[in-house]
C-alpha cells in the first residue's frame, strides 16, 4: 500500500471539519451560479432549446477537454497506481449500486425503471468534476476520470437497457464513441508516453476547461426552472430516490471500499462521485423511449438542490471515518 502522502498533495490534506468546510464552500459557490441559471431560465434568457445546446457543448467539448487536461500532469508511479485503484473502486461501487437498486426497487413499482436508473447513475460529470476539481485539484479529477469512464460505458449499456426495457448490446458501440471515454483513452496514452502539449495550446484549452463549472451550474439552474417542485414533492418515489442516491448508496459504497487497502484520496473521490445528484442522462433516455421525462427532471432538480446539504455531510463523515 502506498503511503498517504504519496496520494494527497500537501495543500489538499485536510482534517474532517476542514474538508467539510471546503466542500460546503465549493457547493455554495456552485449553487450561487446555479441560482443565476435558475433566474435566467425563469426570465427566458436560457430557453429549453438553449439548455439542450449548452448541454451538448458541455458534454462534447468542455467536459472531455477537462478530462484530457487532467492527464497533462507530471508522470509518477504513485499517480498511476492511484488511477488503477480508482478503476477498481469505481467498478465495485457500480456493482454494489446496481445490485442494491435491483433488490430494493421492485418491478411492482409504477416507475421502477426510472427509479432504478436514478439510484445508480449520478451527475458525476456536470456536478462531480467541478466539485472534485475545486476540492482536490487536477489529481482528484484524474482519479475521477476512472469513474466517469465506467459511468459512460454502463449508462449506455446497462442504463440504456433499463430505460428501453429490453437488451440491446449495440449500445456498447455508442459507449466507445462517447467523447468523455475517448478523452480518457487519448489522455492516458499521452500520460503514459509523457507527451505534453506546448504552452500556448495548453493555455488555450485551460481557458475552455475553466468554463466547466459555471456552464454546468447554469445548465442545472435553467433545467431546475423548468420543473415544478410542488408537483415533484407529491411523488412518493422521489423520497426513495433521494434517500438512496444521496445517502444510502454513497455510504454503503464507502463502507465496502474502506475495507480495501486503497488510498484515502481515491476512496473519497469515488464516494463523492456516488453521492452526486441524479444524472441528466435519464431525462434524455426517457424522452427517447417515451417514459415520463418530467419525472426524471424532477429527480434531477430535487436531488441537485438537496445535494447542497447531503454532499458536505457525506464528505465530512466519510473523511472522519478514514
Q: How far apart are CA 22 and CA 51, in angstroms?
A: 29
**Residue in the block written with cell 488511477:** 83
Residue 302, H or E segment: helix 293-321
Report the C-alpha gap between 127 and 274 in whole angstroms.
11
Alpha carbon distance 96, 255 (integer Å): 11
Phi, psi of 73 (to 5 degrees): -115, 170
C-alpha grid cell, residue 213: 463549472
Tens-of-pLDDT digits for all 322 residues of the chain?
344 444 444 334 444 556 567 667 777 787 788 889 889 989 999 888 888 788 778 878 887 898 788 788 777 888 889 989 999 999 999 999 999 999 998 887 888 889 999 999 998 877 788 788 878 887 888 899 889 888 888 887 888 888 877 666 666 676 677 787 788 889 889 988 889 999 999 999 989 988 877 887 788 788 778 777 777 777 888 899 999 999 999 999 999 999 999 999 999 999 999 999 998 778 777 766 777 777 887 888 888 888 888 988 898 888 888 7
Contact 246, 303 (CB under 8 A): yes
What are the CA-CA distances from residue 204 to residues 56, 176, 200 (Å)?
A: 20, 27, 6
Tell the CATH topology of 49-321: Na+/H+ antiporter like fold (1.20.1530)
What residue spans define the domains of the chain? 49-321
Amino acid at each position: 500500500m502506498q503511503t498517504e502522502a504519496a496520494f494527497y498533495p500537501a495543500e489538499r490534506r485536510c482534517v474532517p471539519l476542514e474538508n467539510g468546510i471546503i466542500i460546503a464552500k465549493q457547493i455554495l459557490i456552485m449553487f450561487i451560479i446555479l441560482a443565476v441559471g435558475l433566474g435566467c431560465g425563469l426570465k427566458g434568457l436560457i430557453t429549453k432549446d438553449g439548455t439542450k445546446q449548452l448541454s451538448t457543448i458541455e458534454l462534447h467539448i468542455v467536459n472531455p477537454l477537462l478530462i484530457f487536461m487532467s492527464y497533462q500532469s507530471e508522470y509518477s508511479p504513485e499517480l498511476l497506481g492511484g488511477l488503477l485503484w480508482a478503476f477498481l473502486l469505481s467498478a465495485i461501487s457500480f456493482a454494489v449500486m446496481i445490485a442494491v437498486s435491483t433488490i430494493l426497487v421492485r418491478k411492482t413499482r409504477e416507475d421502477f425503471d426510472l427509479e432504478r436508473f436514478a439510484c445508480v447513475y449520478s451527475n458525476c460529470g456536470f456536478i462531480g468534476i467541478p466539485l472534485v476539481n475545486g476540492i482536490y485539484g487536477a489529481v482528484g479529477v484524474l482519479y475521477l476520470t476512472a469513474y466517469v469512464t465506467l459511468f459512460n460505458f454502463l449508462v449506455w449499456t446497462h442504463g440504456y437497457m433499463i430505460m428501453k426495457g429490453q437488451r440491446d448490446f449495440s449500445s456498447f458501440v455508442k459507449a466507445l464513441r462517447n467523447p468523455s471515454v475517448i478523452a480518457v483513452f487519448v489522455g492516458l496514452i499521452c500520460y503514459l508516453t509523457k507527451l505534453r502539449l506546448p504552452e500556448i495550446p495548453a493555455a488555450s484549452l485551460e481557458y475552455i476547461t475553466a468554463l466547466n463549472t459555471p456552464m454546468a451550474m447554469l445548465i442545472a439552474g435553467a433545467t431546475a426552472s423548468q420543473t415544478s417542485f410542488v408537483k415533484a414533492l407529491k411523488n412518493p418515489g422521489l423520497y426513495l430516490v433521494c434517500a438512496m442516491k444521496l445517502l444510502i448508496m454513497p455510504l454503503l459504497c464507502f463502507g465496502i471500499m474502506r475495507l480495501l487497502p486503497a488510498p484515502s484520496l481515491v476512496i473519497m473521490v469515488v464516494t463523492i462521485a456516488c453521492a452526486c445528484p441524479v444524472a441528466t442522462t435519464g431525462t434524455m433516455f426517457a424522452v427517447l423511449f417515451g417514459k415520463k421525462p418530467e419525472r426524471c427532471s424532477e429527480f434531477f432538480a430535487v436531488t441537485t438542490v438537496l445535494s447542497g446539504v447531503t454532499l458536505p455531510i457525506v464528505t465530512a463523515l466519510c473523511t472522519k471515518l478514514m
